[in-house]
Structure 1
Amino acid sequence: MEYETIRAAVDAETEISRSRFITRLERVSTEEEARAVIARVRAEHPRARHHCTAFVIGPDGRIQRSNDDGEPSGTAGAPMLDALTSSGLYDVVAVVTRYFGGVLLGAGGLTRAYRASVADAVHRADRVRRAIRQEVTVHCSYEVAAQIESEARRRGFGIGGAEYSDHVAQRFAVARAEIVPFTELVAELSAGAAEFEQGAAEFVDLSA
Structure 2
Amino acid sequence: MLPCYHTVKGYGEHEIIIQKSRFIAHVCTSTSEEEAQAFIIDIKKKHKDATHNCSAYLIGENDQIQKANDDGEPSGTAGVPILEVLKKRKLKDTVVVVTRYFGGIKLGAGGLIRAYGKSASEGITATGVVERKLMTIIGVTIDYTFLGKIENELRTSPYQLKEIHYLESVEIDVYVETEKIQTYKNWMTELTNGQGILKEKEAVYLETLI
- TM-score scaled to structure 1, two decimals? 0.84
Asked whether the 8 Å contact 1:2–1:59 carries over to 2, the reply is: no
Give the Å deviation of 1:79: 0.6
2:92 matched to which residue of 1? 90
Q: Between the two proteins, what is the percent identity of the paired residues?
A: 36
Alignment deviations for residues 122-148 of structure 1 (CA, whole Å, 9 cap, x no partner):
333433222222221222344434543
Q: Distance in 2 between matches of 1:124 and 1:114?
A: 15
**What is the SS of the residue equivalent to 2:122?**
helix
Question: Is 1:11 aligned to 2:13, yes or no?
Answer: yes
Give the Å deviation of 1:14: 0.9
1:52 matched to which residue of 2? 54
Give the Å deviation of 1:196: 1.7
1:4-83 to 2 correspondence within 5 Å?
4-83=6-85
Give the Å deviation of 1:207: 7.5
1:107 matched to which residue of 2? 109
Give the Å deviation of 1:167: 3.1
Further displaced range: 36-45 or 14-23: 36-45
Distance 1:32 1:103, change over 3 A: same
- TM-score scaled to structure 2, two decimals? 0.83
The residue type equivalent to 2:115 in the other structure is A
1:121 matched to which residue of 2? 123
Distance 1:17 1:86, change over 3 A: same
Point out where structure 1 has 5 or more consecutive residues left out of the alignment: none
Q: Distance in 2 between matches of 1:2 and 1:74?
A: 31
192, 199, 203: which one aligns with 1:197: 199
Asked whether the 8 Å contact 1:161–1:170 carries over to 2, the reply is: yes
How many residues in Structure 1 have an aligned counterpart in Structure 2?
208
Asked whether the 8 Å contact 2:9–2:209 carries over to 1, the reply is: no
Asked whether the 8 Å contact 1:87–1:122 carries over to 2, the reply is: no
**What is the SS of the residue equivalent to 1:97?**
strand
Asked whether the 8 Å contact 1:96–1:118 carries over to 2, the reply is: yes
Give the Å deviation of 1:18: 1.9
The residue type equivalent to 1:198 in the other structure is E
Distance 1:122 1:138, change over 3 A: same
The residue type equivalent to 2:77 in the other structure is T
Distance 1:54 1:104, change over 3 A: same
Distance 1:121 1:156, change over 3 A: same
Alignment deviations for residues 85-111 of structure 1 (CA, whole Å, 9 cap, x no partner):
111222221111111223332322222
The residue type equivalent to 1:120 in the other structure is E
The residue type equivalent to 1:25 in the other structure is V
**What is the SS of the residue equivalent to 2:162?**
strand
1:115-154 to 2 correspondence within 5 Å?
115-145=117-147, 147-154=149-156
Point out where structure 2 has 5 or more consecutive residues left out of the alignment: none
Q: Distance in 2 between matches of 1:10 and 1:38?
A: 14
**What is the SS of the residue equivalent to 2:195?**
coil
Q: Distance in 1 between matches of 2:61 and 2:152?
A: 31
CA RMSD of aligned residues (A): 2.5
